[in-house]
Every structure is written in structure tokens, then in C-alpha cells.
Structure 1
Amino acid sequence: MKIIFIHGMNQQNYNAKSLRQHWLNIFKQGLKCSKYPNFNFNTLHIDLPFYGDLLTQHHQQNTLDLNTFLPKTWLNFPLHLHQAQEKSIEHTDFIPFLPHYSVSQNLPISEKLNLFTALAKDLALKEFSILLNHFPKLHEQLIHQFLIETYLYLSNECFLQEVHARILNCMNTSEKYIIVAHSLGTVIAYNLLYQHPEFNIQNFITLGSPLAFRVIQDRIQHPIIRPKGIRGNWLNFYSPDDFLTAFPLTNAPFCFSPPIINQMISTFTNKPHEIMGYLQHPAVIQSIIQPLIKC
């Protein structure tokens, strides 16, 4: 059985080799801390088709300034400490363990301020995301302006087919698959599986999926159904702290039978949407490893 990782947006600082290694490092770390620490990682067959370079080929640059989404009054909040810490993490290969923060009296005052700043910022962004979901036209305009990669995929058939081709090169109808998709990757995976019911998907695992948003639902394959190639479970992991994807896939049009198994997990407070908080979570590790042990 083969595992296919499908990454999300904003990966232009990686190439195919470095992004694959980043995901593998996170997965290995989670595996060591899970209930399967002795599982032989070297027996796994894993592919991560990379499409981050396609944005450059389409002469686009994906830039997302989260502070732009915040109300003006929040911009005076002392975010500089938080941003400084984020910058230091982004320029290293260090992957923190879950949970990486603990609100205790032993923390220095600067770290406590950092933590509460991150919480306050994320709360504001999450509330704003909820508001945007009621105004899909405005939501679409913001996606177009700030999330060029997402907009390109949803609105540009050529870009969509190029992304799909990268993934299809890793697949064939004679093999069984576990698909693990993150963020925009969950939208890509849904569309691809919708169009290709011939594949045998043992588990479809979505991490931090924006499929709950109406602007996304309006542009994916219709009618919205459970893709026929999913022979096992569709497991959706979401974090209430993740302002981009803080909602389970429980309401219409996702009232499938068999139902999507939604599970709320905790990711990192200062980087709630990033893959490093999702992929190493023990519940996610279990959803990947269990089908491999049973087969």
C-alpha cells in the first residue's frame, strides 16, 4: 500500500526534494512519539508530488500577509515579539514537538506575552473567517488578492490539470493508497478523486481543510458527493485554533453515508495551520498506520 502526501499552498521556498524531506521529518517525529514507535519506517512507500513551482511558471507570486485581515485596532497589539519568533523558526529545520507550549508560571514573561499575543491574533482571524463565510463574493476577492495559488487552482483549468498531472504520475489502478492531504491539498485531492473513481483509496485523510467554506464549495466538482474511490474512511482533522480551517465537515453538503469522521485536534498556537502541527499528531499517525498494519 502506498502513501501519497498532497501539500498545500505557500511552498515556493521548497523544491520537490526539500519539501518531501520536511514532511518525512515531521512524520518520523510523530511516529516515534506515537503508539507505533517500533514501526519500520523504511518499509513505507511514500510519494509527495510537488506543484509549488507551477505558481512561478504561471508568473504569479503567492503572498499572504495575515495582518491585512486584522481589524485596524488589532494592529497596535504587540505582535513584534511573536513575529520575531516565527521568523527564527522559518529559517531552521527545527520541528517542535506537540504540545510545544505550556501556560505555566515557569515561563518567562516574554514567552507568556508571545503565547497570548498568538492566541489573540488567531481568535481575531478565526472570527473574521466565520464572517467571511457569510459573504462568499468578498471571500473570493480576498482569496484572489492574497491567496493566488488557491485562486489559480479554483479558477484556472490549465493550472488545475497541471497540478493533477503531478499527482496522477504517482498513481495507478493496480495499487491501494492512503492519501494524506493538507490545506489546499485537500481541495485538490477531493477534485482529483471525484474525477478518478477508478483508484482504490483505503483511507482519505484531510488535514486543516478549507472545504467547509462556501467559496470553496462553489468551485469544486458538483454535485458534492463522497468520491467513489474511497473504499475505507474519510477522516478529517481540524483544529479550533486554525483560523483558516477551524470547522468540521459535518453540515450539508458533507452529510455523506458513510459519514466523514471528523476529529478535533490541537496544533501549534503560533502556527496553527502549518503541516508540522497536523502530521505529527498521534491521532493522524494512527489513521495512517492502522490500515498498513491490517493489510
Structure 2
Amino acid sequence: MTRIVLVHGIAQQFKGAETLSADWYPALSDGVGLASGKRIAPSEVSMAFYGDLFRPAGHRGIGIPDLDATDIQGDIESELLWEWWKFTATRDPAVPRPDAPARLRTPNMVQRALDALSHSAFFAGLSERMLIFSARQVRSYFTDPGIRAAAQHRLVAQVTPETRVIVAHSLGTVVAYEALCAHPYWHDLTLVTLGSPLAVRNLIFDRLLPRPIHGNARWPAPVTRWTNIFDEGDAVCLVKTLAPRFGGRISDLSVHNGAAAHDVRPYLSARETGQAIAEALAPGPSGVHAEQG
């Protein structure tokens, strides 16, 4: 009985649905318990896993491929690194500020961005190749129709007539938003987005399907309530609030996740997240009707 569908973000390619569920479930239960005193049974929760779509094909190396500044492909990867650099430089004194007005168009500038990010507290522990590979997953989602469709299908396959709430993190909020827009005959769903980059212009917002019109995105028809939760120090959700672009019905709430600003677990264990989920599960009219035909 899947009442809660979870949707993960990037850099999960070597895990799986069960591994991630085991990681997310305790924090989700803590958040709901803190807010309402209720308990969520494991059987009520399922993970829409799509990380394997980004798993590299077999090669002689171990883990992700060796990548460096010369491997950056296209505007999305370079612009994403640039935006991460700008954001972290404003909040972390250990990160030098970009002193060139131009975007990252050369390997030298890309290398400077990677060097700067490697010294930031936010990206601590991430190697250059992991930073590049993370940016590449975002590019792949938006430029590879097969990956985009397959990721959304993984979510659609988890939604049942008992589903009441979709909880999505990071790139998963993009997957969830587009899948919900593509299934207008579902109804009475609550959407909870955590650390969402949905409102980041050019990189994310302007690439969404359906396309935003005059700077405004379409409201996903099945969603009756949408709570967006962010940490001010989260470099992935560069634009924190979604209501200005997606509609005033969104409740944008700020939380503090400590040093792990983008980590899904402190997002899930926050009272604000638990409250949004508990309200969605409270008795009342609900349910998802699958599309016919």
C-alpha cells in the first residue's frame, strides 16, 4: 500500500531502490513523528529509483570515469559549475570569488571553478570528477529524451490509488514536477519538494516540460497542496522559493540542516517536512486515479 512515493536526486547511480529506502525511511519517520506523533510503516513507502540510468557502462576503471576540466560538455555543465561557484563564494570565506565576468567557456576557467568548489565546506569530500559527473547527470536529464522519459516512468510506476504524497529531493523534484504535469487525471496529491532547483532560470526552469510561459510555470494538475522546503545554505537550490514562479499556493518553508545543507536526511527529519507529510496522510478525500487508455 504505497501512500508515500520518494524520488531521489543526483549521484545515486551505484545504489538501488531498497538501499535508498533504507537510508531515507528512518529520517522520514522521525520527521513525521516529530510533527504528529504518528508512525509511518515501511509498507507505506516506496522509492522511485532511476539512478541506474546514469550508471556508466563497464570500463577498466573503478567507479565513475576519470573526468577533468577538459571533459566538460555543453552549456549546462559549465553554467552549473559557475553558479555553484558563485553561490559558495558568497557564503564560504575559504572559496575565492570569481573575478572574471565571462562564463566558463575554457578549460582554465572550469579548472578554477573546480578548484574553488573543492575547498568549499558544501562540496567537501567531492572529487573533481564527482563534481563533473554530478553536473553531467543534470545535463543528461535535459538533453537525453530517453533518460528523461525513463526517469519519469520509474515514478509513474510507483504511484498507486492509495498514494497521497510525493516527496522529492534535488533533481528528483524536476522528475516529479514533469511527471505530475504529464498525468493530469491523477488527483488529490500532495507534493513535498526538498532542496529543489526548479526555479533556477536558464539551467532548470526554462528547460522544463511543459515550457513556462512569460516566466510562469504550469501548476501540476494533480497537486492540491505543495510544500517546498529549503536551506539557505543549500547550493543546489540556488533559488530558494518556488511560489513566485510556480504559484502562490506553494508554501515555501526554510529549515536549517547544519553543515549538510543539501543532505536529504536532515530535510526529511525536519518538523516542517513531517508536518506536510502528516497532513497529506490525514483522513479525508484522497487517492490517485490512474489514467485510462
Match of 2:92 in 1: 120
Q: Structure 2: state its 5+ residue gaps.
A: 70-79, 114-130, 285-293
| SS of residue in 2 equivalent to 1:237 | strand
CA deviation digits over 1:209-251, x for unaligned, max 9? 0012111012101132111111x21111111111221421133
Equivalent pair of 1:236/1:260 in contact (CA under 8 Å): yes
Q: 2:218 aligns with which of 205, 208, 225?
A: 225
Match of 1:274 in 2: 263
- The runs of at least 4 consecutive aligned structure 1 residues that moved more than 3 Å come to 57-71, 134-138, 141-146
Equivalent pair of 2:191/2:227 in contact (CA under 8 Å): yes
Q: Structure 1: state its 5+ residue gaps.
A: 75-118
Match of 1:287 in 2: 276
Equivalent pair of 2:9/2:172 in contact (CA under 8 Å): yes
Match of 1:185 in 2: 172
Provide the aligned C-alpha RMSD in A: 3.7
Of 184-193 and 194-203, the range deviating more from structure 2: 194-203
**Cα distance change, pair 146–57 in 1 and its aligned pair in 2 (3 A):** closer
**Cα distance change, pair 2–218 in 1 and its aligned pair in 2 (3 A):** same
User: Quick one: distance in 1 between partners of 2:228 and 2:208?
Assistant: 17
**TM (normalized to structure 2)?**
0.68
Q: Which amino acid aligns with 2:158?
A: C
CA deviation digits over 1:38-71, x for unaligned, max 9? x232286111011111111667948899999658
Q: 2:192 aligns with which of 200, 205, 209?
A: 205
Match of 1:28 in 2: 29
User: Quick one: distance in 1 between partners of 2:45 and 2:68?
Assistant: 30
Match of 2:137 in 1: 149
Q: Deviation of residue 161 (structure 1)?
A: 1.1
Q: Deviation of residue 176 (structure 1)?
A: 4.1
**Cα distance change, pair 30–135 in 1 and its aligned pair in 2 (3 A):** same
Q: Which amino acid aligns with 2:241?
A: P
User: Quick one: distance in 2 between partners of 1:226 and 1:17?
Assistant: 31
Q: Which amino acid aligns with 2:17?
A: A
User: Quick one: distance in 2 between partners of 1:234 and 1:58?
Assistant: 37
Match of 2:55 in 1: 56
User: Quick one: distance in 2 between partners of 1:136 and 1:198?
Assistant: 43
User: Quick one: distance in 2 between partners of 1:136 and 1:189?
Assistant: 30
Match of 1:234 in 2: 226
Q: Deviation of residue 12 (structure 1)?
A: 2.4
CA deviation digits over 1:167-224, x for unaligned, max 9? 111124x444201100000011111111111112431111100012111012101132
- Match runs of 1:11-50 below 5 Å: 11-32=12-33, 34-37=34-37, 39-42=38-41, 45-50=44-49
**Cα distance change, pair 22–158 in 1 and its aligned pair in 2 (3 A):** same
**Cα distance change, pair 294–136 in 1 and its aligned pair in 2 (3 A):** farther
**Cα distance change, pair 245–136 in 1 and its aligned pair in 2 (3 A):** farther
**TM (normalized to structure 1)?**
0.68
1:259 to 2:249 alignment: yes
- Match runs of 1:120-139 below 5 Å: 120=92
Q: Deviation of residue 26 (structure 1)?
A: 1.5
Equivalent pair of 1:179/1:204 in contact (CA under 8 Å): yes
Q: Deviation of residue 137 (structure 1)?
A: 9.3
Q: Deviation of residue 4 (structure 1)?
A: 0.6
Equivalent pair of 1:4/1:46 in contact (CA under 8 Å): yes
User: Quick one: distance in 1 between partners of 2:144 and 2:185?
Assistant: 25
